Amino acid sequence: MTPLISQQNHFGLSIFDGHVRIYDITAKKTVWDAQEHQDRVWTIENITREVFASCADDGYIKLWDSRQRKSIFSVKDNEKVASRVSVLLKIGESQFLSGSCPDDVHYSQNKAAFSFWDVRK
């Protein structure tokens, strides 16, 4: 659960069935729900005031516009390593870091990898 900076009392929820939800804690209800990921969604992270990101076991990072309540961009993280993206971390005004790894990192030749992203580009 991540507080969204675009609207007071709204939280982004990462759900293990591929859903991304916005939950209003004042009204105590889901105000928006989308299922664009396959499998488990690991992280929701604020990127800018209106944009947040999600990542999942499908290897995709999705950027969402909280005003339009829809995804606006999708990217497959690190094709050489990823089968899942399990962490996002905001590191600047419009930059973030993603962490990805293969499904079974113990038996894979490729290990975990980090990617840097800038939403302005």
- CATH number at 2-118: 2.130.10.10
- Its pTM stands at 0.83
Q: Which residues partner with 90 through β-bridges?
A: 96
What are the strands of the beta sheet with 70-76, ordered from one edge? 41-46, 51-56, 60-65, 70-76
- Residue range 76-100, pLDDT digits in tens: 866 655 578 888 989 988 889 888 8
Contact status, residue 97 vs residue 77, Cβ threshold 8 Å: no
- Residue range 27-74, pLDDT digits in tens: 999 998 999 888 889 999 998 888 999 999 888 999 998 888 789 988
